[in-house]
Chain A
């Protein structure tokens, strides 16, 4: 590890490195091992509850209280029921008492049953829905915020990316925990209160019931790990299946399916992927069903034993028939709750499983503390050297270097062209220079400081960019351009002017709803699908909108026709001449627009100079130039037609 001449404590650098280490080395196996630990489950539960508390205290308190409050009702109902039966028995055996004696008890019973019934309606579905609103969205928000902190090149690695995707897709886990936790809690309280009633009826029954409930809970806990579907596996298959599903529906692949007649092959792939999903889900369902059956069936056997025991006691006169009936109703009352326990427990467990994965992923990505962030720079050190690199090395994956020992400087006001073959690292270099990726060794500086020293957002506020792999959002046309300068996203005048420069003005008239027309069809199917060239124009317009002192253009005209291409570069030259500009293009000829040309080959910087100088040198650049030029007529001003036809 090279020594950084930043003046920054080396320890910070090592912290950043350990983070990378962590994200890289925590394997999938590790993740699975964690699920077996009860300790991790408890930690996950604590984390989840703390999070839920932070997101919405009131909801949690309200439902827990309501749940517990309503849970004791069956026991209360039982008490009234007992009175009624006692009255009836007294009347039937001795003829004492009148109908009006039972009326208050009956009415009270009815009232309690009503309230109890309402609570049944409110819990389960409604509970999940209400908690969903707060906690699902709340967790999504937490995810979003945390996601912004994670290094981009980490996320692009497959292992980390996969885990990240698994983490993101389980935002329901918090809701599962809170809603099922609440439901479980209320069921347990309900059982508890019924058992308290049992205590007054028969101590033996009480202990038997206690033993049974404990057994059920333990059984659920022990088996949950084995039954539960391994999220990481099923997620992968689901994604594959969805990918093949969409192939036949969208864009050019749909056309290919028709022309190649490959529909059957695609369906086969989908079936293979989906079969795995189905198998895993069914195995899980079978496991849950078995568990539920044992829980229920076991309980009825327990009921038979308990009531049978009571029968003997009644026969011997030690217990009244009303007590027996109460025990019976108590047991049937518990049966309902016991049946629900398995389901609630498993759902809660599933939520905990998700939360555990999420907790470990998020906690493992340290966020810079507030003081650390405040200590960062808000302005550059060196105004003259906008970008500089010294012995810069970078690779996406270990052992496959993409950039090797680059050393160069880009001064303020220079227009620099970056030229090289496919895979020579041009786009990667740009991303490193902009601080999106961290160099593996060596250093890259922006205005004299390493990128990490700047406050978040500083660099992006100084640099406007257009990337080859830019993303067209599923927003309106106006918004897609306007977000180049997000503070002015509603300024139509500026947007239209930016579109003029970017060559996208004609789109406004072509699309039925002009600037308000949605782009893309992900959600709103009336959205417009732009061709490659049209999309490129919109992307470049976005860059024009940002209008910064430092601009980067990576292949801004590769899909445009010759005249539009010329216009594109002309606008860039006119608008941003005098500012610091980095231009990347396959079309070597446009390098002529630049003051200086940097030539990359095999990840190394091989040539650096103006067009004239490099042509004289007759090296890599000159070769590229002539390879392209040979196809143009000498008559039209080109180098001459070459090659055999």
Chain B
């Protein structure tokens, strides 16, 4: 959200794009109502003229010069016009709301599309993506989707403005000039205030959000009261509340200072406008005194019309200024849509042998200088069972991220089955079956929690049951009230959130379900499992993984007894590589780790 000057041509392009989007979201009926609005724009002027005539007729009636029938007819016309105005107002209000709903939906849909297809590094906040996302969602999106509405409103106001000026012109051109001049300060002010608002919104947004966030922490309502336990038991409520108070007060302070200033300025501008208004009224009355033939109606006309003219003028210029001021917000929104997406090929190849080769690969996370992977080279053949060990931050998870094409190596080349994964992203991903450490616990049925892993094939019940049986998940699934159709997760109907171990079995089932994969990656698959379940997994390990290459990240070194090869990561490099026996013989880092764990299991 940097302050850049936007060129005129660029502004037009952005405006055009916004209008196209807005037209799409608005829908037919809405546009029709807006079209009617152009006719409705003539109503104020029309009403004023009829009112003037009515006034004259009433005066005539009292002097016996006019007829009751004619007067009533005029009254009838007036009422119809008022009704038309009311009807249009209601329709406009309703369709306005409808548009807003559609708009919000459109924005959310765009954001979901954007975030699910954009290159992952942006989700790590590269190029400040996440801030821009938040900002676009809250501000930019709405202005894009409502841009058409805004433009139509401005045009309608233009029509109304024209009609009002025409009528008043007939009374006195000087009045028109005076009234218009009086509107200038308001218009200028609103433009300046728009600018200030933009700056404030970008700065103040975080604090406002923090205030809400701190409130939710104290009240514990987010994430199902997860924070409440720590807040209560740690006795930190007073401290967090104080934080909340100071953040909220600070936020309001700034917001209010700006608002107060704006209100003050606007009030002064209003006073100026009203001074001119009174002046015009004085002129009109003086005219009547000077020239009685003008009639009383003129007074009513000027009285009602002047106010309306001023209101319409302000709306017109403010609306136009607002539209062009919004260009900046719109630009931010489109920049979001234009963020580079992942390059997925249309016809992914299939791998028979999915040998994995890392060739002098280096990688650093966005915003960090430290190399998470440092000139790493390794070759893993199809079918190998490999354990990956090392301390937190040594690069294990990064290795997996790069293999799945989530991140791109900054240096070096990664190939699978001989093909560079760049350009074969979809193929590589289809060849991999991965269970991440914080795998998703989807708020849907158990069946869907498993089948979500593989959308390429239709769901076959038997296959599903087989997979569940092989990982040991079938037992507890069948015990669920609705079996596979049971809705699980924290927000499920019955609040049925499975235990950590049960979720882990579901995740394993997911991995097995994706049976077209040639490589299986398991990141800490036994972290939540108790000794019995863990042992069961190890025992079934080769059966579950079949002939797939298996990469197993684990801190439980007992796992190394079921794999052929161990890779030891340290500071972004692979420092040891071999079988368990080889590495014990070397007596290096691995041996140290192994002994640290095994010592506890000496039965004394």
Contacts and interface: CB of A to CB of B under 8 A. Distances in A.
A325 B300 contact: yes
Nearest to B604: A612
B482 interface: no
Contacts of B71: 311, 315
Contacts of B125: 521, 525-526
B459 interface: no
Interface string A613-643: 0010000000011011111110111110101
Contacts of A521: 125, 130
A422 B528 contact: yes
A315 B533 CA distance: 99
Interface string A346-377: 00000000000000000000000000000000
Interface stretch (A67-75, A139-147, A186-194, A196-204): A139-147
B86 to A, nearest CB: 4
Contact of B79 (A130, A301, A510, A632): A301
Interface residues of B, number: 174
Nearest to A168: B221
Interface in B370-421: 370, 389-393, 397, 401, 404-406
B320 interface: no
A521 B124 CA distance: 10
A360 to B, nearest CB: 17
B437 A532 contact: yes
B232 A628 contact: no
A155 B531 contact: no
Interface in A390-405: none
Interface stretch (A37-45, A213-221, A553-561): A553-561
A483 B230 CA distance: 10
Given A248-B115, A559-B527, A523 B210 contact: yes
Interface stretch (B144-152, B153-161, B551-559): B551-559
B511 to A, nearest CB: 11
A230 interface: no
B82 A303 contact: yes
A532 B527 contact: yes
A255 B75 contact: no
Interface in B218-244: 218-221, 224-230, 232-239, 241, 244
Contacts of A95: 292
B285 A102 contact: yes
Contacts of B216: 168
A484 interface: yes
- Classify the interface of chain A: helix, strand, loop or mixed: helix
A348 B456 CA distance: 52
Contacts of A308: 72, 75
A315 B325 CA distance: 55
Contacts of B63: 93
B443 interface: yes
Interface stretch (A46-54, A174-182, A266-274, A379-387): A266-274
B362 to A, nearest CB: 18
Contact of A113 (B274, B434, B501, B534): B274
Contacts of B101: 278, 281-282, 285
Given A84-B285, A140-B215, A258-B120, A270 B112 contact: yes
A271 B109 CA distance: 8
A249 interface: yes
B596 A289 contact: no
Contacts of B248: 137
Interface stretch (B16-24, B262-270, B329-337, B462-470): B262-270
Nearest to B233: A460
A110 B281 contact: yes
Contact of B595 (A81, A266, A436, A637): A637
A252 B436 contact: yes
B455 interface: yes
A452 interface: no
Interface in B409-441: 426, 429-430, 432, 434, 436-440
Contacts of B392: 531, 533-534, 537, 559-561, 564
Nearest to B425: A258
B229 A152 contact: yes
Interface stretch (B172-180, B196-204, B492-500): B492-500
B598 A636 contact: yes
Contact of B61 (A321, A542, A589): A321
Contacts, number: 458
A117 interface: yes
Nearest to B227: A471
A126 interface: yes
A84 B282 CA distance: 11
A631 B561 CA distance: 6
Contacts of A546: 234
B562 interface: yes
Interface in B67-88: 68, 71-72, 75-76, 78-79, 82-83, 86-87
Interface in B496-537: 499-502, 514, 524, 527-535
Contacts of A588: 531
B491 A243 contact: yes
A36 interface: no
A330 to B, nearest CB: 14
A592 B213 contact: no
A92 B227 contact: no
B528 A92 contact: no
B71 to A, nearest CB: 5
Interface stretch (B34-42, B92-100, B350-358): B92-100
A257 interface: yes
A76 interface: no
A510 B584 CA distance: 30
Given A267-B113, A645-B562, A133 B252 contact: yes
Interface in A437-491: 457, 460-461, 465, 467, 469-471, 473-474, 483-484, 486, 489
A441 to B, nearest CB: 23
Contacts of A629: 601, 603
Contact of B76 (A107, A304, A525, A564): A304
A193 B456 CA distance: 72
A22 interface: no
A259 B452 contact: no
Contacts of B98: 282, 285
B62 A148 contact: no
Contact of A259 (B270, B303, B434): B434
A89 B59 contact: yes
A531 B437 contact: yes
A262 B111 contact: no
B10 interface: no
B131 interface: yes
Given A304-B75, A643-B538, A324 B58 contact: yes
A58 interface: no
B267 A247 contact: no
Contact of A300 (B83, B266, B556, B593): B83
Most-contacted residue by chain A among B244, B405, B559, B602 (CB, 10 A): B602
A113 B277 contact: yes
Interface string B103-144: 001001101110111001001010010110110000000000
A61 interface: no
A251 interface: yes
A604 interface: no
B206 interface: yes
A9 interface: no
A75 B173 CA distance: 31
A159 B516 CA distance: 42
Given A118-B267, A244-B443, A274-B108, 4 more contacts: A84-B299, A107-B278, A110-B278, A589-B597
26 contacts: A93-B63, A114-B270, A118-B267, A130-B256, A141-B241, A165-B221, A245-B112, A248-B116, A265-B452, A266-B112, A282-B101, A301-B79, A321-B58, A321-B61, A465-B233, A506-B393, A534-B392, A534-B393, A558-B528, A559-B555, A586-B534, A592-B600, A627-B531, A628-B601, A630-B535, A637-B601
Q: Would you list the 3 A-B pairs with minimal beta carbon distance, nearest first?
A: A631-B558, A589-B600, A158-B495
